[in-house]
Amino acid sequence: MSVVIIALIIGVTSFSPYALVPFHVTGQALLLYIVVRGFCYWPPMVEWIKSMPGFHRAMFALLLGGMIVGHYTLDSRTFYPYVTWFIFPTIRDEDPVTCREFIATTASGKKVRLLVEQLFPSIVQIYPLDDPKHYSDKQIDALAQSLATAYNQHHPGDPVRGVEFVVLAVELHPPASASPTEPSCQLLKRYDFSSGL
């Protein structure tokens, strides 16, 4: 019964003309509430929680509550590690799919991809390089230089002579007659490091 009442409250708060709280918050809250309620009605769980001494019960509530509250802050950067659990949640339909990256040419003429996550393995992931919100032109230039320097430190015998900043593209629906290919590549900017870094 209480689930129905809560669903009604959500309807009013999220879909009324005032729309106080967005549905992507209240809808998730309802789903979570259903699960928590389910556990509250399961006797072994109730017994287990009741058997906990006070400090342990408080700790259990704090740790789980922290994770739930962190999810609803919708601000992973401020409250990390209490993050918003956000994996593949939005609709994407762009075609072709594109991505910017740095490709270096070494002294021997070899082409190598300069990937931040490989040259700096501490980093799990950087922001996509095509996101102007996170990178100015100056920062892209500085990054190209840092990547080339990092590559040279590990390959002193075959250093980078130049770096190309390119955009790769993969067609989502290639023509049926097309043979499987590598992503298409378009040059955006060229950096010349032949005189050294």
Chain residues 141-170 in contact with another protein, contact rule CB under 8 A: 142-143, 146, 149-150, 168, 170
**Total residues interacting with another protein, rule: CB under 8 A:** 82
- Please give the Cα distance from 165 to 126 (Å, whole number): 16
Q: Applying CB under 8 A, which of residues 5, 16, 81, 196 lies at the interface with another protein?
A: 81
Of 128, 186, 188, 197, the residue at the interface with another protein (CB under 8 A) is 128
The amino acid at residue 62 is L
Residue 192's DSSP bridge partners are: 162
User: Per CB under 8 A, which of residues 4..43 are in contact with another protein?
Assistant: 23-24, 27-28, 31-32, 35, 39, 42
Contact 158, 170 (CB under 8 A): no
Tell me which of 87, 111, 137, 156 binds another protein, using CB under 8 A: 87
Contacts of 100 (CB under 8 A, 6+ apart): 128, 129, 130, 165, 166, 167, 168, 188
**Region 40-59 residues binding another protein, contact defined as CB under 8 A:** 42, 44-45, 48, 51-56, 58-59
Q: Which stretch binds another protein (CB under 8 A): 1-9, 155-163, 171-179, 187-195?
A: 171-179
Residue 91 touching another protein (CB under 8 A):
yes
φ, ψ at 69 (rounded to 5°): -60, -45
- Would you say 49 and 60 are in contact if contact means Cβ atoms under 8 Å apart? yes
Q: Does 114 bind another protein (CB under 8 A)?
A: no
Only one residue has tokens 């040059």, namely 187
